[in-house]
Amino acid sequence: MSVGASIEALALSLGAFRLKEIDFAVSSGEIAVILGPNGAGKSVTLEAIAGFHRPESGRVLIGGRDVTAFPPERRRVGFVFQNFGLFPHLNVAQNVAIAQRRDGPVAGAKYAPPSGDPAALLDYFGIAHLAQRSPSDLSPGEKQRVALARALAAAPDLFLFDEPFSALDAETHEQLREELKAYLRALAIPTIFVSHDRSDALTLADKVIVLRGGAVIQSGPAAEVFQKPANSFIARVVGVENVLSGRVMETSKDFLTVTVGDQVVRAVSPASATPSDGSVLLGIRAEDVEIDPVHTAPPRKAGTNRLPGRIAQLRRAGPLVGVTVDCGLRLTAYLLGSQVRKMNLENGSPVVVEIKPEAIHVMSD
Amino acid sequence: MHAKFTPGRAAMSPWRFRAAPSRPGALYLLCWFAGSVLIAFLVIPLIALALTQTWSSLAAIARMTDVRDAIMLSIEGAFLSALCAALVGVPLAYALARTAFPGKGVIAALIDLPLAVPHTVAGIALLMVFGRQGTFGQPLQSIGLKFWGTIAGIVVAMLFVSAPYTVNAARIGFEAVDPRLEKVARSLGLGPWRTFFRITLPLARRSIMTGITLTYARSISEFGAVIILAYYPMTAPVKIYELFLRFGLEQSAAAAVLLLIVSLSLFVLLRTLAQRGGQPQESR
Amino acid sequence: MKRSVCLSLATLGLAGALLPAALAAQPANPVTLSIFAAGTLAVPFRQVNALLEKKYPNVTVQAQFGGSVMMAKKITDLHQDADLLAVADYNVIPKYMFGNPAHASWYAGFARNAITFVYTDKSKFANEINPQNWYKVLARPGVEIGRSNPDTDPSGYQTVQMLNLAEKFYNEPGLEQKILANAPLTNMRDTETSLISALQLGQIDYLAIYRSDALQHHLKFIDLPAKIDLSDPAQSAYYQNGVAHTKNGDLAGKPIVYAATVVNGSKNATMAVNYVALLLGQQGQAVMKTNGFGTFSPAFAVHVAAMPAPLKSLVQPWPSS
């Protein structure tokens, strides 16, 4: 087992809230993102891993050591929360220097952080010139780097981020996220990142854990969770734009025929069995909905679903145009503005919608 | 229809408040007015008192050893009282700020209770407990600690009436420190004690110092409770009262003004000490 | 908003309805009589006040009680308005009030008192002490005795004078010193009544106080010989041998006589005179006796010629010492 962090069957009660049997692992070089709605228990999980809540059962292993009984200061975690939590009464150099230096990474660790000497760390993050500044005089990007330098000064075996970007505007959010990703990749220290924003998961995650009501409802590699959400709730969490209910008509080895709305489509058989009454939910990502005007549509490929329809609505969505198309079922898709103009699309334009069977994800609930 | 007020008028008005770029509103003026009334109410009687004295009359009273001793005793006693309040009250304030337990509201209310107790009653209650035959007084007397007619008794009386100020101010100070900062400190390897002394306490410092200063001030002026436990040695308020009985208004006013001058200087000193720090040093 | 307006109007209406009734209850010419008196007179004076208010329904008496010197100084130094001053030591009036300007021109002694020691069951040697051995018991080490400050309070210096007399009376040199050693500065307050709680809590064993206080507070007390306890004006000459050394000088013993006077310039002089008359008369003297004070018949007075006419017949000149 690689030296990383592992949470085994962690359960605890916090007042009326219960965390039920949380189970996942993250290895060095990996970033795991915990996604979920507010109140799902994301922060509680993170704090329990860091040692601020005593679990009723389960284990927390960090860097190969069982730290379940350890107080926070002995767990070797680096904790960064919203607004980065810099100590306002200390300047940047003092913030970094206050960390209690422990010995280097545990034996067998696949990461090697830069030297723990505060001056060297400031250099590594390019903030040496800010050493005497007060935290209130820093930009969010500078604060992030100070927070990272400070966390590294304590030689952590695990990084924990609790929604550090929530209070920032969209542009700064993206910028900082990109920067953080670069640093985390370079450092390769196992990282658990909590967010309610799925774009954070999209950008950062190697692994996604979806939390709801204090329990893990799906966890796995990011691609898998994003493309094959286990149920419609998760589908919405990971941003599947189209979730429709349908009924299975026919099953074969590889495919299902499903009626949905006024149409019949072919979808790839899911790994798990479908309900006996045949009612299913279909998840289709907007990016998998291909739209072409009727006249210029390319010839149909074998096995693809092709549905004629009309544009119901066009709306601006940032750089893209959100297209709602009615083809016997209402679907959302995105097109570039230039595409819309080239295809001369407007409300009511007749179009053809093409969806590959692999893009239709069948869910039981 | 032309505007009633010319546009440039606000800029020309002498009332250029930084927070109110346009003409000062009625609310602002009302605040200033109310504030001035209160300040006048507090300051004018003290000034009237001070004006009854001349430098020579103050010098004369300052020459009296018993007056100087009384003032020194008051300062010492108030200092010890503030110290005790800090040592015991600050941890209590931290517990109140950070932990939730059943009966917390009751405890918080109890802390304010001494402020509502008439001072003489407080003195008698303390004598009941710390006197020769008191629950604590009796065993403590056997090891040589007496509260009747000693500075220990003075401190006990001062502490009883003034401790709430330290606890309340410190509690507000601790509540203003984001608990997540403490969590970060713990994750950085600082244990609970180090976290408290290097993160929590410095951030709450100004509130705590304000509370301690209030405790100190209240201690210096306490009369009713102190005099039950200790008449001799005399604190300044007791001495001033005695001077009034023996000589009259003039001498007691002189001693009072002397006490005010000494107290004022001390408070200014304490406030400046509280202001310093709390900001990171810009240059080392 | 509407509700509070209704409530205010209702209150005003009610007040308005009651006002005529209240006014009707007030007799014509309401008089508020302001009295400053010694603390030990609190209980008897409240009874005399009631008698006065009954006799003159238009009068309300507002009395303040405290140390005799403090009360005198409130008039002379703080210029507070009082119609009548009554003190525990008749000397306070000539000393503070006869000055320039003169706040008073005469005074009449209306009650007597004695200095004694009070104690409780908790006091050390309480079961042993008696009028014969008291001075030996009080001199024993470990006995805590309370008293008031001789520099500021009459009972303070009267206690010292009594001990001085006792030393001579019992022919026990050093008696005064030994007993005073058990009554150090820490056991002193500016009035003896503030030490009563200390006595009851067991902080002190014996308290030098007036016999009237002993009776009022139902405390045990020692019956001291009249020759030393300053209770008998006839013994004035002997009392002079008892001397107290204070910051105000050496004070020779005088009988404890409570004196009253009407303050010069009082706006309610007539009613104040009525009060004094009541005090010196049969009813007033009865009240004083019930409360443990010694009485006079008739009262002694100083500067009789300066007294208001109605009072002259009630007094006799002070015996010259």
Lowest-pLDDT choice from A112-116, A307-311, C19-23, C179-183: C19-23
C-alpha distances (whole Å) from C5 to each of B158, C1, C9, C10 are 46, 6, 6, 9
| Contact between C247 and B150 using a beta-carbon 8 Å cutoff | no
pLDDT of residue C155: 86
pLDDT of residue B283: 39
CB contact under 8 A, A78 and B187: yes
**pLDDT attached to residue A39:** 86
Furthest CA-CA distance within chain A: 70
The confidence score (pLDDT) of residue C29 equals 81
Which residues on adjacent β-strands are paired with residue A94? none
Residue among C70, C77, C186 whose CB faces B148 most closely? C186
Q: Calculate mean pLDDT across residues A108-115.
A: 67
What ipTM does this complex have? 0.82
Residue of C nearest to B249 (CA): C77
Residue of A nearest to B189 (CA): A73
Contact C248 B246 (CB under 8 A): yes
Residues 81-110 of A with CB under 8 A from B: 81, 85, 87-91, 94, 98-102
Query: pLDDT value at position B66?
Result: 92
Average pLDDT over residues A71-92: 91
pLDDT on residue B281: 44
- The mean per-residue pLDDT over the stretch C136-146 comes to 94
Neighbours of chain B (3+ CB pairs under 8 A): A, C
B252 CA: distance to closest CA in chain C (Å): 11
Residue B4 identity: K
pLDDT on residue B1? 44
Does residue C232 sit in helix, strand or coil? coil
For helices A42-50 and B179-187, what crossing angle results, to 10°? 40
pLDDT at C299 over 60: yes
Compute the average pLDDT of residues A269-275: 77
Can you count the helices (H) and strands (E) in chain C?
13, 14
Q: For residue C174, give Cα distances in angstroms to C139, C147, C156, C170, C226.
A: 10, 19, 19, 11, 21
End-to-end CA distance of chain B: 63
Q: Tell me what pLDDT residue B230 has.
A: 92
- pLDDT digit of tens for each residue in chain B (284 aa)? 444 444 455 555 555 555 555 677 899 999 999 999 999 999 999 999 999 888 998 999 999 999 999 999 999 999 999 999 999 999 999 999 999 888 888 998 999 999 999 999 999 999 999 998 899 999 998 898 999 999 999 999 999 999 999 999 999 999 999 999 999 999 999 999 999 999 999 999 999 999 999 999 999 999 999 999 999 899 999 999 988 877 878 888 999 999 999 998 988 888 887 777 545 444 33
- What is the predicted pLDDT for the residue at C25? 54
In chain B, what residues touch A85 (CB-CB under 8 Å)? 178, 180-181, 184
Q: Which of B180, B183, B188 to mutate to test the interface with A (most CBs of A within 10 A)?
A: B188
Averaged pLDDT score across all residues of chain C:
88
Residues of B in contact with A79 (CB under 8 A): 183-184, 187
* pLDDT at A265 exceeding the cut of 80: yes
Q: pTM for the full model?
A: 0.78
What's the pLDDT tens digit per position in A283-310?
Answer: 899 988 988 888 887 888 788 888 889 9
Name the residue among C208, C189, C158 with its Cα closest to residue C70: C189
Provide the CB-side half-sphere exposure for C281 (13 A, CA): 12
Task: Give per-residue pLDDT as tens, A204-231.
Answer: 999 999 999 999 999 999 998 988 888 8
| Cis check: omega of the bond before A105, within 30 degrees of 0 | no
pLDDT computed for residue B154 by the predictor: 96
CA–CA distance, A271 with A252 (Å, rounded to integer): 13
Asked whether residue C30 carries a pLDDT value surpassing 70, the answer given is yes
User: Percent of chain C beyond pLDDT 70?
Assistant: 92
Considering only the beta carbons, identify the residue of B187, B202, B283 that sits closest to A77. Answer: B187
pLDDT at A249: 87
Q: Which residues touch A271 (CB under 8 Å, ≥6 apart)?
A: none
A264 torsion bin: left (phi>0), alpha (psi -120 to 50), beta (else): beta
Rg (CA), chain A: 24
- Are the beta carbons of C73 and B242 separated by less than 8 Å? no
User: How many Å apart are CA B188 and CA A81, to the nearest integer?
Assistant: 13
Contact: B203, A88; criterion CB under 8 Å: yes
DSSP conformation class of A130 = G
| B202, closest residue in chain A (CA to CA) | A89
What is the structure's pLDDT at B273? 77
User: What is the average pLDDT across C85-111?
Assistant: 90
Q: pLDDT-derived band of residue A341, with 50, 70 and 90 as boundaries?
A: confident
pLDDT at C23: 59
Cβ distance C203 to B248 less than 8 Å, yes or no, reads: no
d(CA B206, CA B211): 9
Per-window interface: B 182-211 vs A, CB < 8 A = 183-192, 194, 198-199, 202-203
pLDDT at C132 over 90: yes
Average pLDDT over residues A174-186: 90
Q: What is the mean pLDDT of residues A57-77?
A: 90
- Kindly provide the residue ranges of all beta strands, DSSP E only, lying in chain A, ordered along the sequence: 5-14, 17-26, 31-35, 57-62, 65-66, 77-81, 158-162, 191-195, 207-212, 215-221, 242-251, 255-260, 263-268, 279-284, 290-293, 305-317, 320-326, 330-336, 350-355, 360-363
Predicted confidence (pLDDT) at residue A58 exceeds the cutoff of 70: yes
Write the DSSP symbol of residue A81: E
Distance in Å, alpha carbon of C257 to nearest chain B alpha carbon: 21
Look up residue A196 and give its DSSP letter.
Answer: S
Helices B90-98 & B151-175 angle (0-180, nearest 10): 30
Supply A22's token pair.
Answer: 């949380």
Residues from chain C contacting residue B129 (CB–CB below 8 Å): none
Cβ contacts of B198 on chain A, cutoff 8 Å: 98
User: What pLDDT does B2 receive?
Assistant: 46
Q: Which of A81, A90, A172, A78 is nearest to A135 (CA)?
A: A90
Q: Do chains A and C touch (3 or more CB pairs under 8 A)?
A: no
